[in-house]
Amino acid sequence: MLIPRFLLRHQITIEPYLGDTSKGPKYGPATTVRCFLDEQTRSVRSPGGEDVTSTSTAYADPGTAAPTLSRVTLPGGRVTRVIQTKNRDGGGLPTPDHVEIQLE
């Protein structure tokens, strides 16, 4: 079961992080993704184990690619980065499967 389409009210643009170069971070081509965006500040743990502050969380369809450190443009124009992405799979239970994208 997926997130009901009527809940995916927002669009974000994701530029996947490809790594660092001598000129700074390198990003892949931008992709527009429909999602539900929750702009709420909360503390989350990064993949490196540090406690960091997340200012927004996007909930998107399974399979949405948003590697850690990817650049994301929110509907209001604010540019942020991905802290981490979590796959939320109900394992066949009647819950919406989705990807949770935690943003700085």
Q: Which residues pair with 75 in a beta bridge?
A: none
pTM: 0.91
What is the predicted pLDDT for the residue at 86? 93
Least confidently predicted of 13-27, 29-43, 86-100: 86-100
Q: What is the pLDDT of residues 54-83, one digit of tens each?
A: 999 999 999 999 999 999 999 999 999 999
> Which two three-digit tokens encode residue 23?
């000129």
Of all residues in the chain, the percent with pLDDT exceeding 70 is 100
**CA-CA distances (angstroms) from residue 29 to 5, 7, 17, 65, 103?**
25, 26, 10, 12, 19
Cβ–Cβ under 8 Å, residues 102 and 54:
yes
Side chain identity at 49, as an amino acid letter?
G
> What confidence score (pLDDT) does residue 45 get?
84
What's the per-residue H, E or C state across 48-82?
CCCEEEECEEEEECCCCCCCCCCEEECCCCCEEEE
pLDDT given for residue 1 in this prediction:
80
**pLDDT of res. 50:** 86
pLDDT digits (tens, 9 = 90+) for 24-56: 999 999 999 999 999 999 898 888 888 889 999
- Total number of residues shown for the chain: 104
